[in-house]
Chains A and B, each alone.
Chain A
Amino acid sequence: MIELKNINKYYSTGNHELHVLKDVNLQIGAGELVSIMGSSGSGKSTLLNILGILDAYDSGEYILDNTLIKNLSEQKAAKYRNEFIGFIFQSFHLLSYKNAMENVALPLYYRGVGRKERNKIALEYLEKVGLLDWAEHMPNQLSGGQQQRVSIARALISKPKLILADEPTGALDSETSGNVMELFREVNKLGITVIIVTHEQDIAAMTDRKITLRDGQIVESLVDV
């Protein structure tokens, strides 16, 4: 599903270069539930951005679902992001002037699905995350946990092969966190690969595989049995 071969990434700050990812090799199979751990500065966000086709890498190869992701045009990157990947963010990133249903439907808008059709599909996904009754609510009328569930529905609606979650529980209390993680497990059971970036041990413990990054290198890749 995901194959990273000798990925290197540099950031230049001023006149010296920062070697953020050092020869990262990683394979994640279809349907895995994986957490990426690491302290800040370990390169985990950079890795997530590369996996999410939000950032380019300097050398190596990234193969996503048998497609080489390298030197893509903005246009093509946008297309792959829309088709392959569902994003979930720590601060939810819902559009404030669209209601829950419209927010969920947005990826389908970029895919050119008609308004009626995509809103209908959006309602189905809201139902899946248990928020059908909140479809007409604006984001500021929803709790943090509800907002995160809306954003999960938004990530799912484009039927992605991969869900990338950046600290999805970082802004939630532990009970809500548990619920959200439960939702991730259900999503995962549908056969979708889920990668969660976190720095919380107990969150990582709820995944099947823990990948730990330190100083731009993978130091641990434990599989829970």
Chain B
Amino acid sequence: MFDLDRWQEIYHVLSKNVLRTLLTAFGVFWGMFMLVILMGSGNGLRTGVMGSFGNFATNSFFMWGQSTSIPYKGFQKGQQVVFTNDDTEVLKRQLTSAEVIAPKLQLGGYRSTNYVTRGKYSGSTFSVSGDVPEIMQISAKKIVLGRWINQSDLNEKRKVAVIGSRVRDVLFETDEDPIGEYINIQGIYFMVIGVHDLEFTSGHNESELESIITPLTTFQSAFNLQDRVGWYSIMAKSNTTAGAVEAEAREILTKRHNISPDDVRAIGGWNADNEFQKISGLFSAINILVWIVGIGTLLAGVIGVSNIMLIVVKERTKEIGIRKAIGATPYLIVSQIILEAIILTGIAGYLGMSAGVALLDVVNSAMGQSAGMFKNPSIDLTSALTFLSIIVFSGGLAGIIPATKAASVNPIIALRSE
């Protein structure tokens, strides 16, 4: 297989018409280049968008009370639905398909900000919430300093707080240790017990860095909210889906709050699973498109190779005839042509792939960490190996027709003197 004569022959054939060889190779080069670029960009888009889910468990959902839209059991419509600790107890008893049930309450409601001070320092863009320790499992945070809230904090209603890293930056000097210091939230002092940061960096979750988390029980009594719960974050067990658990939770709460079973607007919800599925579907579609376009382009290149090889065989009819006459077996002739096609597509394809990967690298380092929706455009080793085998396979494929043609060369006709 690897003797000098074969390589001499391949070199001779490919170098005989350099321009033609280069143009043919460019077809394959470009096909491979496009495939890598498209796939890398698709991956970049996916990484970027999926990154916004980064800190949030995808098999979970939120649920909050709104107002009823259908009169039911003698109640007028427009009744405010307010969740309480009793709901939490019932959910924890009845909603067995949930792994984590985390009630949450935020000062001023979802996405509102508060004025927080510490001596001469103050910030007004911070969100203050009452939480349970288990929320960590749904919305992951990294504790960079001190500790996270625990059950004892809740049981004893300790006035403690875990602050986001941005909160620390605003309320403390850089060399100051915030642990054990007090911050003033609407006239009530909380002791800082920890600092949290994002588990994954992503542009969309930066507001989390400005959050101050206190134990739910402390929060409820400190701000005179009694037993109210703002919303629930619920994570499904691994053997079920967030969608199924949400339906079950809705049923339980609908009964408890005298809501019509048909009233879907009384309880608001956002299901990460649904969103995740939608986006996953979108990316699967993009991925399929990338493959179709990429493979199509590559195929065009390969057909080009096949075409040129056919012409080469035609030009070499006489030579193939001589070889046959002096004892070349059909296997030798067929394998020679296929080897030539594989070499041509292999080299061109490999260069195309390398160029594509290099370009992705350049784009990647130029973008740095700044981009939001487009991140780390790259292809993994598996894809690269898949591409390589596609190149070799398509090279062989490109050689089959010309090789068959070469094998069928009739030495009598080929050698007939003109």
- Chain A residues packing against B (C-beta within 8 Å): 45, 49, 52, 54-55, 74-75, 78-79, 81-83, 87, 89-91, 93, 95, 97-98, 106-107, 109-111, 115, 154, 158, 166-167, 170-171
Inter-chain CA distance A82–B412, complex, in Å, is 16
A166 smallest CB distance to B (angstroms): 7
B79 smallest CB distance to A (angstroms): 90
Within 8 A of A (CB), among B281-326: 318-319, 321-326
- Within 8 Å of chain A (Cβ to Cβ): is B3? yes
B6 smallest CB distance to A (angstroms): 10
Q: Do residues B412 and A158 form an inter-chain contact, with CB atoms below 8 A?
A: no
- Within 8 Å of chain A (Cβ to Cβ): is B84? no
Inter-chain CA distance A52–B327, complex, in Å, is 11
Nearest A residue (CB) for B318: A93
Nearest A residue (CB) for B331: A75
Inter-chain CA distance A166–B418, complex, in Å, is 13
Nearest 10 pairs between A and B by C-beta? Answer: A82-B327, A110-B327, A90-B417, A97-B12, A78-B329, A93-B322, A74-B330, A107-B326, A49-B412, A87-B325
Q: Mark B374-418, 1 if CB is under 8 A from A, else 0.
A: 000000000000000000000000000000000100011001111
- Within 8 Å of chain A (Cβ to Cβ): is B366? no
Q: Do residues B330 and A110 form an inter-chain contact, with CB atoms below 8 A?
A: no
13 A-B residue contacts at CB 8 Å?
A54-B412, A78-B324, A78-B329, A79-B327, A89-B417, A91-B418, A93-B318, A93-B322, A93-B325, A97-B12, A115-B4, A167-B417, A170-B417
A-side contacts of B170, CB under 8 Å: none
- Within 8 Å of chain A (Cβ to Cβ): is B328? yes
A-side contacts of B322, CB under 8 Å: 93, 95
B-side contacts of A45, CB under 8 Å: 412, 416
Q: Do residues B3 and A79 form an inter-chain contact, with CB atoms below 8 A?
A: no
Known: A78-B328, A93-B415. 18 other contacts (CB 8 A): A45-B416, A52-B325, A55-B412, A74-B330, A74-B407, A75-B330, A82-B327, A83-B327, A91-B417, A97-B8, A97-B12, A109-B5, A110-B327, A110-B328, A110-B332, A115-B5, A158-B326, A170-B417
Inter-chain CA distance A91–B318, complex, in Å, is 11
Q: Do residues A154 and B415 form an inter-chain contact, with CB atoms below 8 A?
A: no
B313 smallest CB distance to A (angstroms): 15
A-side contacts of B332, CB under 8 Å: 110
Which size bracket describes the interface of B in this complex? 20 to 34
Q: Do residues B3 and A115 form an inter-chain contact, with CB atoms below 8 A?
A: yes
A-side contacts of B4, CB under 8 Å: 115
Inter-chain CA distance A75–B123, complex, in Å, is 88
Q: Do residues B327 and A111 form an inter-chain contact, with CB atoms below 8 A?
A: yes
B409 smallest CB distance to A (angstroms): 11
A89 smallest CB distance to B (angstroms): 6
Interface of B is mostly: helix
B156 smallest CB distance to A (angstroms): 90
Nearest B residue (CB) for A80: B327
Q: Do residues A79 and B417 form an inter-chain contact, with CB atoms below 8 A?
A: no
Inter-chain CA distance A45–B3, complex, in Å, is 36
Inter-chain CA distance A98–B12, complex, in Å, is 10
- Chain B residues packing against A (C-beta within 8 Å): 3-5, 8, 12, 318-319, 321-332, 407, 411-412, 415-418
Inter-chain CA distance A111–B331, complex, in Å, is 14
Question: Which residue in B3, B319, B326, B418 is a CB contact (below 8 Å) of A87?
Answer: B326
A-side contacts of B418, CB under 8 Å: 91
A-side contacts of B321, CB under 8 Å: 93
Given A91-B417, A115-B4, A167-B417, the answer on whether A78 and B319 have CB atoms closer than 8 Å is no
A-side contacts of B330, CB under 8 Å: 74-75, 78
B-side contacts of A111, CB under 8 Å: 327
A-side contacts of B407, CB under 8 Å: 74
Given A109-B5, A115-B3, the answer on whether A154 and B417 have CB atoms closer than 8 Å is no
A12 smallest CB distance to B (angstroms): 15
Q: Do residues B417 and A75 form an inter-chain contact, with CB atoms below 8 A?
A: no
Q: Do residues B326 and A82 form an inter-chain contact, with CB atoms below 8 A?
A: yes
Given A89-B415, A115-B3, A115-B4, the answer on whether A74 and B329 have CB atoms closer than 8 Å is yes
Nearest A residue (CB) for B411: A54
B-side contacts of A91, CB under 8 Å: 417-418
Question: Which residue in B3, B12, B326, B417 is a CB contact (below 8 Å) of A106?
Answer: B326
Inter-chain CA distance A159–B323, complex, in Å, is 17
Question: Which residue in B5, B327, B329, B411 is a CB contact (below 8 Å) of A107?
Answer: B327
Inter-chain CA distance A115–B3, complex, in Å, is 9
B44 smallest CB distance to A (angstroms): 48
Inter-chain CA distance A81–B324, complex, in Å, is 9
Inter-chain CA distance A30–B411, complex, in Å, is 26
Nearest B residue (CB) for A154: B326
Nearest A residue (CB) for B418: A91
Inter-chain CA distance A106–B5, complex, in Å, is 10
A49 smallest CB distance to B (angstroms): 5
Nearest B residue (CB) for A98: B8
B-side contacts of A93, CB under 8 Å: 318, 321-322, 325, 415
B251 smallest CB distance to A (angstroms): 76
A-side contacts of B329, CB under 8 Å: 74-75, 78-79, 110
Q: Do residues A81 and B325 form an inter-chain contact, with CB atoms below 8 A?
A: yes
A-side contacts of B324, CB under 8 Å: 54, 78, 81
B305 smallest CB distance to A (angstroms): 21
Most B-side CB within 10 Å, residue of A82, A154, A158: A82
A-side contacts of B417, CB under 8 Å: 89-91, 166-167, 170-171
B-side contacts of A89, CB under 8 Å: 415, 417
Inter-chain CA distance A106–B332, complex, in Å, is 13
